[in-house]
């Protein structure tokens, strides 16, 4: 299963981000807590360069809590200010401005010493599709200004949004990168909904998801699909056929695959993290 998705509006957005980065004080990089590395666009490092950055691990409630703490520590050790948030439920959002001020403390102190009157922090929010940027923007602004949707590619333009007196936000569309060198990253993004389902082979994706859960969270499969512990060790394709039969889909593996994918995305199988902190050494060497 080869996965690629780089619509024209993403190429345009990338150019606009490069042009407008000079107007902001700090970058809010929104990533999916379920895949803290795979949901980071490697092109953004070239664009953002030395701008202060606040990494926001969104959808933290959908991710493995222990993994969340490990990844937050990882980013902090890299020198980034980091928060775990849930924009949908407005958890942790009220800490963002304070954390941004911490990240910009030297700049703010320097300007204050020169007698420069304090102004609102100007921030740019970047991230891949369907990571929750528009929802976060609406939470910060306090009303529905940014368009939202539980599908990738909803936001296609850039807009400035005002958040009280302390923050001005430049929203941007979700931007993927032109080519996934590692197709494993493509599968992870697809499983969490960052890529349009119409571009995917859902049976392959369901098998990928089932194989992951059988390895890291087999007890979830036992509970959700009424399997035995031994059955969780079956190859992914056999698991798909077994669950299809148990759910009454018979040989309709497309319907069964769609059901499994949606149940994974909606946390019917519980919180999970696809990028495993314990595999970090392997991941970093491969990238």
Binding-site residues for GTP, please?
A: 58-61, 130-135, 174
CB atoms within 10 A of CB 175: 23
| Per-residue CA distances from 22 to 118, 124, 181, 244 (Å) | 19, 10, 29, 53
Structural Rg of the chain based on CA atoms: 20
* 64, burial (CB in 10 Å: exposed 0-12, middle 13-18, buried 19+): buried
**SS3 (DSSP) at 84:** strand
Would you state the structure tokens that stand for residue 44, as one six-digit string? 């953004």
Separation of alpha carbons 10 and 13, rounded Å: 5
What residues are designated binding site?
58-61, 130-135, 174
Residue of 265, 275, 262, 218 whose CA lies nearest to 68 = 275
Separation of alpha carbons 204 and 271, rounded Å: 21
**SS3 (DSSP) at 167:** strand
Separation of alpha carbons 67 and 278, rounded Å: 9
Separation of alpha carbons 132 and 196, rounded Å: 15
Q: What are phi and psi of 283, to 5 degrees?
A: -60, -45
């Amino acid at each position: 299963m080869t996965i690629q998705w780089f619509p024209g509006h993403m190429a345009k957005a990338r150019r606009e981000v490069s042009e407008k980065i000079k107007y902001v004080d700090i970058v809010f990089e929104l990533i999916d807590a379920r895949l803290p590395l795979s949901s980071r666009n490697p092109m953004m490092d070239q664009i953002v360069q030395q701008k202060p950055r606040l990494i926001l691990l969104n959808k933290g409630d959908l991710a493995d809590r222990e993994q969340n703490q490990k990844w937050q520590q990882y980013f902090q050790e890299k020198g980034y200010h980091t928060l775990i948030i849930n924009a949908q439920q407005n958890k942790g959002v009220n800490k963002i401005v304070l954390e941004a001020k911490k990240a910009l403390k030297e700049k703010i102190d320097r300007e204050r010493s020169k007698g420069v009157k304090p102004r609102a922090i100007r921030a740019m929010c970047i991230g891949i599709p369907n990571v929750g940027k528009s929802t976060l923007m609406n939470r910060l602004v306090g009303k529905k200004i940014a368009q939202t949707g539980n599908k990738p590619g909803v936001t296609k333009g850039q807009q400035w949004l005002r958040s009280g007196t302390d923050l001005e936000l430049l929203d941007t569309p979700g931007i993927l990168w032109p080519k996934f060198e590692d197709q494993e990253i493509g599968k992870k993004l697809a499983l969490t909904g960052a890529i349009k389902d119409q571009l995917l082979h859902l049976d392959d994706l369901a098998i990928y998801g089932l194989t992951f859960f059988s390895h890291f969270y087999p007890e979830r499969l036992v509970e959700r699909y009424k399997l035995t512990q031994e059955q969780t060790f079956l190859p992914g394709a056999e698991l798909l056929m077994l669950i299809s039969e148990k759910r009454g889909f018979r040989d309709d593996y497309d319907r069964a695959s769609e059901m499994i994918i949606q149940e994974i995305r909606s946390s019917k199988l519980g919180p999970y993290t696809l990028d495993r902190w314990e595999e970090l050494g392997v991941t970093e060497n491969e990238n």
